[in-house]
């Protein structure tokens, strides 16, 4: 009874957030920007590393940073955040201001002078909306502009009040109660860990570790070691198993998000933390299972990981880029042993051969991207095999281009890769 009363009180408080936080959730009421769109003229030389070639191609296709992800108006979105983070990291490697300025332009479109975030509603408690805050840390560090610090604090405030399940796991969204998705670990935890590291909140790392441990405990399949896409603790969703609460399939990109989340969180996890080694063990278990379902011929991964060339299944680029990144970064940082290097190199070579296309102008394109997939909602997504293979496939999706840049940067660290 006490637990039910606590949850009821929490939900009542959450419903009052728009009143408690004033203008924070009203940033999207600002008029649409009437900016002149200026074409970016760039020379995308084949002498440049792949990280820069893809970054410049993105900038050419989307001269205003908010135009990423096929957007017709500015949106606060994890896809934009992923691209801006990858381009910001390209700036750190290449030391060319065009990359820093491009990422900053998205922040300056979305963050108002008082720190309010356009197109952001804190009371939705959508964990996807935490992720685009990641690239604001470096902007604040380099510019000192307080609006970025205020926006970071707003996103941290959302995490402080994010609804949780009975074991402390973050709900994916307020409208998806009791559910944890693999995607959500990437959306929330790297931001959470960097905030805790930068702003001296070491007590938060227990909570961060618990998110991964809890998800693996429930989502890991004992036979294959792969992770199911979603877990509904209440077991009421039509997609959830009535005994386990798990969705029925291993979706490639969902596992990719989870693997990237672990390897990025470890950047900030204290060396002496009791759960650090457990996170490294989770990374090893996850990627060991992933390696076993790598396509032997191409080095790539399928949309539904364990279904191989079953009718309708296909080799999918966003997940393949994510696994390549998580593996090569894991090796570079010493989290994975060196046998994963060959697996990562094979996958990266497969990406370049089968998914990367360069047009006559030098512009780089990423093909065979699953556009979107999820669970529940309206229309209802049942998590079936037929569902995952039915979602649209498109080129140049940011959920693949961002990880491609990140993987390229890792391969380019201290070694030469074929351009």
* 261 CB-near residues (< 8 Å, 6+ apart): 185, 186, 189, 190, 212
- HEC per residue, 168-187: CCECCECCECCEEEHHHHHH
Q: What is the pLDDT of residue 387?
A: 99
Pairwise CA distance, residues 74 & 66, whole Å: 5
Q: Catalytic residues, which ones?
A: 183
Q: Is the pLDDT of residue 356 over 70?
A: yes
Distance from CA of residue 57 to its chain's centroid?
A: 21
* 382 CB-near residues (< 8 Å, 6+ apart): 238, 239
Q: Is the pLDDT of residue 154 over 50?
A: yes
pLDDT digits (tens, 9 = 90+) for 72-106: 999 999 999 999 999 999 999 999 999 999 999 99
pLDDT digits (tens, 9 = 90+) for 168-217: 999 999 999 999 999 999 999 999 999 999 999 999 999 999 999 999 99
Pairwise CA distance, residues 303 & 286, whole Å: 17
How many C-beta neighbours within 10 Å does residue 224 have? 14
413: DSSP letter = T
364 conformational bin, left if phi > 0, alpha if psi -120 to 50, beta if neither:
beta
Q: What is the mean pLDDT of residues 393-405?
A: 99
pLDDT digits (tens, 9 = 90+) for 212-258: 999 999 999 999 999 999 999 999 999 999 999 999 999 999 999 99
Burial 18-29 (b: 16+ CB within 10 A, else e): eeebeebbebbe
* Dihedral sign from CA coordinates of 206, 335, 87, 367: negative
Q: What is the pLDDT of residue 74?
A: 98
67-58-349-266 Cα dihedral, nearest 10 degrees: -70
In contact, 255 and 182? CB cutoff 8 Å: yes
Which domains, ranges and CATH numbers included, belong to the chain?
A: 2-412 (1.50.10.10)
Pairwise CA distance, residues 20 & 361, whole Å: 52
How does residue 39 score in pLDDT terms, banded at 50, 70 and 90?
low
Q: What is the mean pLDDT of residues 315-336?
A: 99
Pairwise CA distance, residues 206 & 31, whole Å: 42
Q: Please name the residue that has the structure tokens 């003229």.
A: 41
Pairwise CA distance, residues 291 & 346, whole Å: 11
How does residue 418 score in pLDDT terms, banded at 50, 70 and 90?
low
Element (H, E) at 394: strand 393-394
- Show the tokens assigned to 55: 């970054």
pLDDT digits (tens, 9 = 90+) for 258-298: 999 999 999 999 999 999 999 999 999 999 999 999 999 99
Q: What is the pLDDT of residue 52?
A: 98
């Amino acid at each position: 009874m006490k637990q039910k009363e606590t949850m009821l009180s929490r939900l009542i408080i959450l419903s009052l957030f728009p009143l408690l936080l004033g203008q924070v959730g009203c940033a999207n009421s600002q008029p649409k920007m009437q900016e002149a769109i200026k074409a970016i003229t760039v020379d995308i030389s084949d002498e440049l590393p792949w990280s820069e070639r893809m970054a410049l191609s993105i900038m050419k296709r989307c001269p205003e940073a908010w135009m990423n992800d096929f957007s017709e108006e500015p949106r606060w979105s994890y896809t934009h955040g992923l691209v801006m983070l990858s381009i910001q990291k390209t700036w750190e490697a290449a030391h060319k201001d065009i990359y820093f300025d491009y990422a900053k332009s998205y922040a300056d479109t979305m963050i108002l002078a008082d720190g309010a975030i356009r197109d952001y509603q804190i009371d939705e408690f959508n964990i996807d909306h935490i992720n685009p805050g990641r690239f604001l840390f470096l902007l604040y560090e380099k510019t000192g502009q307080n609006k970025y610090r205020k926006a970071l604090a707003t996103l941290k405030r959302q995490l402080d009040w994010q609804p949780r399940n009975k074991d402390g796991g973050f709900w994916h969204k307020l409208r998806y109660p009791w559910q944890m998705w693999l995607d959500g670990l990437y959306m929330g935890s790297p931001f959470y860990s960097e905030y805790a590291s930068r702003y001296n909140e070491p007590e938060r790392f227990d909570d961060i570790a618990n998110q991964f441990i809890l998800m693996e405990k429930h989502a890991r399949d004992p036979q294959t070691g792969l992770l199911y896409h979603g877990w509904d603790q209440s077991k009421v969703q039509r997609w959830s198993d009535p005994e386990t609460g798990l969705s029925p399939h291993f979706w490639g990109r969902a596992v990719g998000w989870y693997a990237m989340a672990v390897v990025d969180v470890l950047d900030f996890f204290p060396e002496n933390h009791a759960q650090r080694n457990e996170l490294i063990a989770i990374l090893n278990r996850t990627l060991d299972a992933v390696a076993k379902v790598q396509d032997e011929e191409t080095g790539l991964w399928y949309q539904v990981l364990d279904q191989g060339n079953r009718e309708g299944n296909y080799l999918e680029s966003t997940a393949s880029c994510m696994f390549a990144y998580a593996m090569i970064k894991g090796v570079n940082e010493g989290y994975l042993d060196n046998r994963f290097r060959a697996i990562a190199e094979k996958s990266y070579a497969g990406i370049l051969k089968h998914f990367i296309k360069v047009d006559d102008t030098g512009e780089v394109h990423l093909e065979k991207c699953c556009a979107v997939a999820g669970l529940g909602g309206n229309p209802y997504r049942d998590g079936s095999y037929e569902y995952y293979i039915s979602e649209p496939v498109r080129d140049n999706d940011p959920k693949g281009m961002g990880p491609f840049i990140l993987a390229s940067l890792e391969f380019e660290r201290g070694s030469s890769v074929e351009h």
